[in-house]
Amino acid sequence: MTGRAELTAALPPRRAALKAGLAAGLAGLLIPALNACTAEDRPGTVTVAGGEPGGFYLEFATLLAESLQRHGVAGHATALTTGGSLDNLEQLLTGQATLAVALADAAAQTSEGNSSSKVGITALGRVYENYVHCVVRKASGIRDLTELAGRTVAVGEPGSGTSLTTPRLIEAAGLSSVAVGASPAAGVEKTVTVMNLGLNAGLAALQNGSVDALFWSGGVPTAAIAATNNQVGLGFLDLSPLLPKLRTKYGAFYDRVLIPEGAYEGIPAVWAVGVANLLLCRSDLDERTVKRTVELLVGHAEELIPRSSLGVQFLSPESLINTAGLPLHPAAAAAYRKLHG
What is the per-residue pLDDT for 39? Answer: 53
User: Per-residue DSSP letters for 155-196?
Assistant: ---TTSSHHHHHHHHHHHTT-EEEETTSPPPTT--SEEEEE-
Rounded CA-CA distance 151/68 in Å is: 45
Which has the closest alpha carbon to 331: 287, 271, 301? 287
Instruction: Split the chain (341 residues) into runs of 10 and give each run's mean pLDDT.
Output: 34 33 45 51 85 90 97 96 96 97 96 90 94 96 94 94 95 93 72 95 97 94 93 97 96 93 95 96 97 95 80 72 94 92 60
What is the per-residue pLDDT for 143? Answer: 94
Q: pLDDT tens digit string along 111-130?
A: 999 988 889 999 999 998 88
pTM for this model (two decimals): 0.83
What is the per-residue pLDDT for 188? Answer: 61
What is the per-residue pLDDT for 54? Answer: 85
**Residue pair 23/301 in contact by the 8 Å Cβ criterion:** yes
What is the per-residue pLDDT for 1? Answer: 37
> In this structure, how many other beta carbons lie within 10 angstroms of the beta carbon of residue 63?
18
What is the per-residue pLDDT for 309? Answer: 67
What is the per-residue pLDDT for 266? Answer: 96
